[in-house]
Amino acid sequence: MQITLAPMEGVMDHQMRQLLTAIGGYDLCITEFIRVVDMQLPAKVYRRHSPELYNDSKTASGTPVRIQLLGQNPQCLAENAHQAISIGSDGIDLNFGCPAKTVNKNKGGAVLLKSPEALYQIVTEVRKAVPVFQTLSVKIRLGYEDKSLAIENAQAIQAAGADELAVHARTKAEGYRPPAHWHWIAKIKDAITIPVTANGDIFSVDDAKRCMEITGCERLMIGRGALATPNLAQAIKGIESPNSWPEILNILEKYMFVQTHGDQEKYLPSRIKQWLIFIKAQHPQAAVFLQQVRTIKTTQEMLAAINQEQLRFK
């Protein structure tokens, strides 16, 4: 079994990757996408998105990190893929699944799922730029407005030379609304021969088991589930029981000291509240706690609130 930590724009930055991979169970991380328009980006852009490049493209706990690119210009994407590989990225991932309106308006992300030929051209050019010993992976959704091109898109991506395909089991139009259509991942897996990673609505060990049974995939990608239960990968692999609410409080406290992004007084309290929104989906206590801290604006106040909540379980 392989479990990948999914990219989540504005959430899964390098410090969150560091924290979650230290907890364990993740075999690979994909970075937040780097937007490619019409030029080769300087190395510093890649290193800013993925400081792990200074550590052989691995998190501090040794989990490989792969740069993800998003764009629509085949040649420009190829040039940037070559740049990312040259400075040490553990392979390249292409994002054809982002549902964001701004991204799709600019002909990037999921809008490209309307054209299997466009996918083929992009992957072909990027494959030429990525050495055969480096993995070229691709992330898609089931389609843009409907699923009519799901299999054709997957086949075009394989034919163009991709090594792996990750599939989020919804269309762009479906966003993140349940359910995830895992049976469609099974159809895609049956239609191609490269490894397929299943993604979407994996929030628990039972979800993971059902997803693997329905899709036939032994590779999973988790994002929101990893935030809701930080040791979910370990739990899926049968190494640990899923985190309890008191254990999550300890992880939140640890994050307060791991995180070093920008202005701590403004950034950290907002980041903790953002994280609690994901956690409350699996832990009702987090919803109550979120209401208690929603007006907190300073790091010290947030840390004090976490410590006070921890005392309830000691």
Cα distances from 37 to residues 69, 74, 107, 178, in angstroms, run: 10, 10, 10, 32
280 known member of a binding site: no
Q: Is 35 within any annotated ligand binding site?
A: no
8 A C-beta contact, residue 141 and residue 185 = no
CA 62 to CA 66: how far, in whole Å? Answer: 13
- Angle formed by the axes of helices 299-311 and 264-279, to 10°? 40
The residues carrying an active-site annotation are: 98
CA dist 245 and 303 (Å) reads 16
Is 73 annotated as belonging to a binding site? no
68 is in an annotated binding site: yes
Q: Is 259 annotated as a binding residue?
A: no
Buried b (16+ CB within 10 A) or exposed e, 40-72: ebeeebbeebbbbbeeebbbeeebbbbbbbbbb
Is 49 one of the annotated binding-site residues? no
Closest CA to 228 of 184, 287, 182: 287
Q: What is the largest CA-CA distance in the chain?
A: 59
The answer to whether 93 is a known ligand-binding residue is no
Q: At what angle do helices 264-279 and 245-258 cross, to 10 degrees?
A: 150
200 appears as a binding residue in the annotation: yes
Binding-site entries: 68, 139, 168, 199-201, 223-224
Binding-site entries for FMN: 68, 139, 168, 199-201, 223-224
